[in-house]
Structure 1
């Protein structure tokens, strides 16, 4: 939790932020960055269209009428600057809507809950007073019929990384597709001693029930489970808690842990492709995936989806409800750019991860200095940027000079006679007139490449190819710098089987 000052609001505010001092895993991240969901360079230009320049979370659910609703957390306006949460026009939450079913090229939003034209509204007011109610954060969403339900927590105080205090958790509802929300009369889980087990939640509607997966405030508790008949969500006495052996009505203290601590920012869904219940959450410093044959578990061992080592400042990891076939899409937040990205992993039928990103250090976040080091190499003049202008997180690579060829490259092991897709995010100086991104035989000529001129903002480039008889290839990005001082920046590469 990093401190920030919000313009026009004379209080010190802290935001739902990265794991901080938790030791980061060095496990390779199989996840692939697909697109940016919010903020600068986002598919939908959320800043220009709805004044959503910086935000986090992105909790998604099917509204039952052909749209996905996405609830975001603390949101800021046009004066926002990285790193972290800051700026004017602070709203504790906003809601965007999507009809986009082709997630392979990114997720676009078509509308928002607004208070004026072109301005995403705050859904649930918060006092914005530290040690009283600093903010109200959405944690879960579900639709029953035409009514939308939103789980949220009232945050009293943001503490040290991974710790915060809540006043209570509750559920609001909307009968106009998220435009207005009613908080009165909803069930409430008060948290006077800080030990309530249902301060953050994930909702799953199935078999006539809404299952409520809960965790305490902060990032250091276990996961617990309740269920309620789908027509009785607002009636707290209708909730039953899983004791470890049976469902039982009464106090939420009856709920036994179903997943051991630490569990935070849960996302749960029943996945038709695998026939299993899937759970993603922040475990320590990584986003992990687990599966089970029943909502109560037992749950498989956690598999890393995205490592802090590749996505520093990551949190969230909320599954898209329309993920279909083997592709599982998630909304991933990162602290420095304080925005949300769409990432993807592929699953086998048994819900294990397959076809991972083959690029090592794909976002250059494992580079320890400003000099390019293994597994990357540079030909000519180049280095590592460590600033706030990367596409994701904190670092990107670059080449720059005023004459000759300069490129960044990495040798990657591949399977012979297999089709692959290479993607990466690039931008260049305005005078670039001859840039290349592609794959070549190690030390040899290109196999496939794209040629580009000036790229004004971070732009996704895609190359498809067959490995042929090769067991390794060299991925690269470079420019001929024969048009004055020229530069190219590179970030977030992926190489997967097509």
Structure 2
């Protein structure tokens, strides 16, 4: 048989092009690393033939590992943007023991069907109008058993709309290598309005809490719970009515968060002592908190804006986030892969210490010419293609002689420690690149010098602001030895 090739309608993404218009809110999140695909920390494209994928639903397996379930996955022939290519698997599972998330998230193994190839966990018919795919939405462990919530998708409609046949829970007793789908609970969706077609799991106080949303991105969030020993028994589930827990039909459930809510992730966070919820709200990934799973939930705070991460979705919290650092798996339609991002939290669950760089990923640049808040000295511009580190755009400088750089003035607090990060890539002949900070219009006081960078490479500079109230972040090259170029993307400046 010929390899299966498809070009999926955006499965959980927003296949939009051009400058982002839906949201102009600043993104406090910092890009930490690429989790999947070419250039990822674990090179998943060569390690397990996971070249393009999305989601990254994560849970602790109870044995010192994180299990991460990804959605529709493609192999060698995939080309950005979006879901396309051969070796289509409706979902795959990777495992991680990495506890040092500050430098990215690595994977140590996968559920495989042959060496070096991540397997499809749950078969799907791959027939549009019947069952086009089966998507994982949540995972949780109880003892040595792993549970995976999934939805059977009948048809992908316009971006943000899709039809499901049902949702269900599978289980695995061999750490995710094989999954049993029969005999567990199932929530059928004949009328398209069932409350629990996508899920988020939290195990706490003897129960597994299941937060649910309908198919698509237009519904509210609902809540159920089940004794942890009875996850596979549907009659054991109780639904929160707004005032009490009731057994029976899930139509008893009342909204705990108003629409629109999609791609939910929920956890109890030890640092804040609160329940945290992240989800896609319109065009942004947002964060809310509550003292109890039933709420009331705080107002939404933007974690990542569509304007800085066009085509974003998902935003699944890493269970081992600790202290003030909250890490999330963020999907982007371009290049249809998953990135680890970070925000920091105050003790009350609100977002602290945001990224101070405006337009950090150059996605708000409407043309090929560098515009505010960025400036260019010498010859440079904005690339609009599929070779950026994230999404659609990156900045560049290029010439055959002299100094060329991209820079931005940022307000800082005097006598404060800061960390600057950015993603850089150069021509093979680059011999004199610089990345750092300087006084506005003045000389650098903290910088790194680098030569050729073969691929997108993270660079970090730490410094104290001294008596300065503003600084310039910059990246540039001297090009006195022939034609050279430097690309830059995803800058971040945060207090250390």
Q: 1:133 aligns with which of 123, 131, 134?
A: 131
Match of 1:97 in 2: 95
State how far apart, in whole Å, the 2-side matches of 1:489 and 1:13 are: 30
Q: Tell me the equivalent position of 1:13.
A: 8
CA deviation map 1:300-359 (0-9, x unaligned) = 000000000000000000000000000000000000110000000000000000100000
Cα deviation, residue 17, structure 1:
3.3
Q: C-alpha deviations, 1:177-233, integer Å up to 9, x for none? A: 000000010100000110100000000000000000000000000000000000000
Alignment of 1:35-184 (within 5 A): 35-184=33-182
* 1:479 maps to which of 474, 477, 480: 477
| Matched position secondary structure for 2:130 | coil
The correspondence for 2:255, drawn from 248, 254, 257, is: 257
**Structure 1 counterpart of 2:285:** 287
Equivalence map 1:264-303=2 (5 Å)? 264-303=262-301
Deviations 1:420-467 (A, max 9, x none): 000000000000000000000111111100000000100000000000
Q: Give how far 1:11 is off.
A: 5.9
Asked if the contact 2:7/2:85 (under 8 Å) is kept, the reply is no
Residue equivalent to 2:232 = 234
Where structure 2 has 5 or more consecutive residues not aligned to the other structure, the ranges are: none
Residue matched to 1:399: 397
> CA, structure 1 residues 236+317, in 2 after alignment: closer, same or farther (shift >3 Å)?
same
Map of 1:319 onto structure 2: 317
Distance in 2, matches of 1:476 and 1:327, equals 26
SS in 2 for 1:193: coil
- The SS at the match of 2:68 is strand
Q: Which residue number corresponds to residue 3 of structure 1?
A: none
How far the C-alpha of 1:484 sits from its partner, in A, is 1.1
SS at match of 2:102: helix
* Matched ranges for 1:205-216 at <5 A: 205-216=203-214
Q: Is the 8 A contact 1:12 1:130 kept in 2?
A: no
* CA drift at 1:19: 3.6
CA distance in 1, matches of 2:105, 2:317: 13
The question of whether the paired residues in 1 share the 8 Å contact of 2:7 and 2:84 is answered with no
CA deviations on 1:396-417 (whole Å, 9 max, x unpaired) are 0000000001000000000000
Deviations 1:126-166 (A, max 9, x none): 00000000000000000000000000000000000100000
CA contact (8 A) 2:311 2:334 kept: yes
Partner of 2:348, secondary structure, is: coil
Contact 2:21–2:307 under 8 Å retained in 1:
no
- Separation in structure 2 between the aligned mates of residue 212 and residue 76 of structure 1, nearest angstrom: 29
Trace 1:357-368 onto structure 2 (pairs within 5 A). 357-368=355-366
Hey, what's the Cα distance between the residues in 1 that align with 2:142 and 2:197? Answer: 22
CA contact (8 A) 1:15 1:74 kept: no
Q: Which runs of 5+ in 1 are unaligned?
A: 1-6
Q: Secondary structure at the match of 1:83?
A: coil
Kept in 1: contact 2:219–2:262 (CA 8 A): yes
Q: When the two structures are superposed, what TM-score results if normalisation uses the length of structure 1?
A: 0.98
Cα distance in 2 for residues equivalent to 1:441 and 1:483:
28
Matching residue of 1:454: 452
Q: Map 1:440-451 onto structure 2 (within 5 A).
A: 440-451=438-449
Aligned ranges 1:418-433 → 2 under 5 Å: 418-433=416-431
* Matching residue of 1:4: none
Aligned to 2:201: 203
The answer to whether the 8 A contact 2:4-2:87 is kept is no
**CA positional deviation for 1:483:** 1.7
Kept in 1, the 8 Å contact 2:59–2:141? The answer is yes
2:495 matched residue in structure 1 = 497
Cα shift readout 1:93-120 (whole Å, capped 9, x = no counterpart) = 0000000000000000000000000000
Q: Measured at CA, do residues 312 and 11 of structure 1 come closer, stay the same or move farther in structure 2, by a change above 3 Å? A: closer
Q: How many residues align?
A: 492
Q: How far off its partner does 1:9 sit?
A: 2.7
Distance between the aligned counterparts of 1:142 and 1:53, measured in 2? 26
